[in-house]
Amino acid sequence: MGRLSGKRAIVTGAGSGIGRASAMLFALEGAKVVAVDRVEDAVDETAAMIRAKGGTVTSIAADAGDEIAVKGIVDHCVKEFGGLDVVYANAGISGGWVPLQEQTVQYWTEILRINLIGPFLAIKHASPHMIKQGHGSIVCTASVAGLRANAGGTAYSASKAGVVSLVQTTANEFYGTGVRVNAICPGLIETGMTKPIFDGARARGTEGKIGQLNPLKRNGVPEEIAQMALFLASDDASYVNGQAIAVDGGLSSTHPFAGKR
């Protein structure tokens, strides 16, 4: 019996990185998974990897920031698997590093649409099913960039701070329903989104300095975030609600400092 046996789960951004690792782990732990990503080939590959390990999964190519698409994803899970117990609203974009004076309204709008409106839509359309059954877990990917400065671009950081507030306010809006809403705040994780950082460091020969600002002196990997997502999705976290939990090697526990060694 896995920690998610009998659960029906949706994971967005499942075509790579944290989303792929989480979708695979959820399936291995017994969940029936709807894997979602706007890149069809990538999410189909995730589904094939899950099936190869004996998991149950369907894949959908969709935009997690589009309301019609999100409603369709939720409806698909309910129809295909008979209900919905877990949503991991993980899809996000970084927007890259753009100087403030060069940022446009369109640039901000797209980042907020995917990173903040996307989780809102997941909560909006998943919660009625969960409220009706008296339980459910919604997990959103925020970031340490949403907690303090200097961990991401301006628009990205603002969007992730919004996710932190979103899970706090909706957890309280669902007072007495049995529906939990939490966020994970990853630190520096090697994914497709952060690939330019890692590629740049390797090209400069400074790979050994990656992650030097946290006490563990290393970056994280998607599977480490997936383990937190699994915990929050499972009944093991039955008393965890309205929280934004940093998984960052200790980065957010202190003010920035120069490496001691």
- The amino acid occupying position 206 is T
Sign of the C-alpha dihedral computed for residues 11, 15, 17 and 20 taken in this order: positive
Let me know: does 200 contact 260? Beta carbons within 8 Å.
Answer: no
Q: Is 156 a catalytic residue?
A: yes
Structure tokens at 253: 């526990």
Q: 56-61 and 86-89: which strand pairing?
A: unpaired
Let me know: does 22 contact 40? Beta carbons within 8 Å.
Answer: no
Let me know: does 212 contact 259? Beta carbons within 8 Å.
Answer: yes
Which residue, chain included where needed, has tokens 């901000």?
A: 108
Q: How far is CA 208 from CA 48, 158, 218, 259, in A?
A: 34, 29, 8, 12
Let me know: does 112 contact 155? Beta carbons within 8 Å.
Answer: yes
Termini Cα distance of the chain? 45
Nearest 5°: phi and psi at 211?
80, 10
Of 167, 155, 184, the C-alpha closest to 242 is 167
- Tell me which of 88, 107, 156, 239 is the catalytic residue: 156
Which residue, chain included where needed, has tokens 């989104």?
A: 193
Residues near 193 by beta carbon (within 8 Å), at least 6 away in sequence: 17, 92, 93, 94
Query: Would you name the residues annotated as active-site residues?
Result: 156
